Amino acid sequence: MLIEVNMTVNGRAVSGKVEARALLVDFIRDHLRLTGTHVGCDTTQCGCCTVHVDGKAVKSCTMLAVQAKGKNVVTIEGLASADGTLHPVQEAFREHHGLQCGFCTPGMVMMGVDICRRHPNADEKTVRHELEGNICRCTGYQGIVEAIMDASAKMAGGRA
């Protein structure tokens, strides 16, 4: 049995029919063809699938698509401005070399935005604690942590 889901994704109203057990990440990737949201583990361990649902970071591999019905979802593709200007966290990742292979980057950036929203002027201890649910196998995290702290400071000070 297929269920109709309607939601807003990256500012655009979308709909589709999904099985009741379909995950939000599968709806985003397979139905909407927004492949920036990655699937790394399917068990909520890695954070590669992190998106924002109604303004909060959510691991989309553990949320059903039907649970997002009527919600506002933002993926990595919807983070930059329409003119292509990068979000402050994206820019900070570029400046601080917060990526290497890039596989975890979309989830890290989305989590970073959420950290900046909840913790203006976040310090290193806070950022490291908040990132515990996101795994990077390449960078050693230092560039990621520096990027999020820098973006947090800029966004809190209105300089972003």
| pLDDT, tens only, 77-104 | 999 999 999 999 999 999 999 988 889 9
Same domain for 61 and 98, yes or no, is: no
What total number of domains does the chain contain?
A: 2
The percentage of residues in the chain with a pLDDT greater than 70, rounded to a whole number, is 98
Which residue shows structure tokens 């990595």?
Answer: 76
Sequence-ordered list of residues with C-beta below 8 angstroms from that of 129, at least 6 positions apart, any chain? none
- Same-domain pairing of 71 and 39: yes
Tell me, yes or no, whether 63 and 96 share the same domain. no
Give the alpha-carbon dihedral of 139, 143, 145, 150, to 10 degrees: -160
CA distance 24 to 92: 28
Quick one: pLDDT band at residue 160, thresholds 50, 70, 90? Answer: very low
pLDDT-derived band of residue 47, with 50, 70 and 90 as boundaries?
Answer: very high
CA distance 37 to 60: 9
Backbone Cα Rg of the chain: 15
CA–CA separation, 29 vs 16, rounded Å?
Answer: 12
Any idea what the CATH number is for the domain that residue 116 is in?
A: 1.10.150.120
- Residues 107-139 pLDDT 10s: 999 999 999 999 999 999 999 999 999 999 888
